[in-house]
Amino acid sequence: MKINHHPQAESLMSCSAGSMPEAFAAVMSSHMTLCPECQKELAFMEAIGVAMFDGIAATPVSGDAPVMALRASEAGDDAPVAALNASAIPEPLQRVIGTDLNAIKWKRVSPGVWQHVIPLSKTARGDLRLIKVAPGKSLPEHGHSGSELTLVLQGAYRDSTGHYRAGDVADLAGDVTHSPSADPQEGCICLIATDGKLQFKSLAARIFQPFAGI
Ligand SMILES: [Zn+2]
């Protein structure tokens, strides 16, 4: 796996110091299992006394909460996204969603876009979810009221900040506005942590947002 996009140094520091919110730590620890480069960086931090890599690896990502049962989406006429295979799921995430990917209940939030919300511990700040986007589909242009950390699990997407493939992380600050567009052949499935609501630009998307739960 060739990884081109990594978390920002500040995020690595926060993660190594154990101060990263649970949802973000889940994305980070999932990326770590795929990325020797970031593993080395964390090992270096540990060597200079600011990291505890073992602690990060053991960070609980969802407590003992069961995976939220969501209604299966209507199939509609949306283009299919290739089934996610177990090998695409980093080990920390397998502990949360299991390895039987066919058992995941996707909820359709708009044509060609599905989500699966992953429950966090009661005191956790932010949200953690899987998002699946059909080939060639885009999310409406939006900004963020907080930061957003995304790990591509399968397929790819591109936006104004770059082209992200499986294993890549997009570590976005709150001031970034983007409209991610899924790969035209493969679509994409991503693990996304957010600590604030998305801020959609279009009126239609803003009206729809409370119903979509994003
Ligand atoms: Zn990395």
Q: How far is the CA of 168 from the centre of ligand 1 (A)?
A: 7
Most confident of 30-34, 50-54, 84-88, 176-180: 30-34
Question: In this structure, which residues have their CB less than 5 angstroms from ion ligand 1?
Answer: 6, 35, 37-38
Cα 101 to ligand 1 centre (Å)? 24
Three-state DSSP at 27 gives: helix
What's the pLDDT band for 193 if we cut at 50, 70, 90?
Answer: very high
Ligand 1 center–CA 205 separation, angstroms: 32
15-49 per-residue burial string, b: 16 or more CB within 10 A, e: under 16: bbeeebbbbbbbbbbbbbbbbeebeebbeebbeee
36 CA distance to ligand 1 middle (Å)? 7
Task: Give the C-alpha separation, 61 to 52, whole Å.
Answer: 17
CA of 24 to the centre of ligand 1 (A): 14
Ligand 1 centre distance from Cα of residue 43 (Å): 13
CA of 44 to the centre of ligand 1 (A): 14
**pLDDT for res 71:** 27
Contact assessment for residue 139 and residue 179, using Cβ atoms and an 8 Å cutoff: yes
CA–centroid distance, residue 32 to ligand 1 (Å)? 6
The mean predicted confidence, pLDDT, of the chain is: 77
Domain 86-212: give its CATH code: 2.60.120.10
Q: Which residue has the higher pLDDT, 80 or 10?
A: 10
Please name the residues in contact with 148: beta carbons below 8 A apart, sequence gap of 6 or more.
Answer: 170, 172, 176, 192, 193, 194
**pLDDT above 60: residue 60:** no
* pLDDT higher than 70, residue 14: yes
What distance in angstroms lies between residue 13's CA and the mean position of ligand 1's atoms?
A: 13
The answer to whether 151 touches 5, Cβ cutoff 8 Å, is no
- 180 - beta bridge partners? none
pLDDT at 62: 45
Q: How far is the CA of 86 from the centre of ligand 1 (A)?
A: 20
Average pLDDT of the residues in 64-77? 33
C-alpha dihedral sign at 121, 108, 27, 174: negative
pLDDT at 165: 95
Q: How far is the CA of 82 from the centre of ligand 1 (A)?
A: 25
Q: What residue ranges do the domains of the chain occupy?
A: 9-57, 86-212
96 burial type by CB count under 10 A (0-12 exposed, 13-18 middle, 19+ buried): buried
Tell me how crowded residue 58 is: count the other CB atoms within 10 A of its CB.
10
Say if residue 161 is exposed, middle or buried (CB neighbours under 10 Å; 0-12, 13-18, 19+).
middle
Percent of the chain at pLDDT > 90 equals: 35
Q: Residue 200: helix, strand or coil by DSSP?
A: strand
Lowest-pLDDT range of 69-73, 108-112, 173-177: 69-73
Residue 37 CA to ligand 1 center (angstroms) comes to 5
CA of 165 to the centre of ligand 1 (A): 12
What percent of the chain shows pLDDT beyond 70? 70
Average pLDDT over residues 159-171: 94
- Whether the predicted pLDDT of 145 surpasses 80: no
Checking if the pLDDT of 19 tops 70, the result is yes
CA 176 to centroid of ligand 1, rounded, Å? 21
Of residues 70 and 207, the one with the higher pLDDT is 207
Residue 18's identity, in one-letter code, is G
The SS3 call for residue 97 is helix
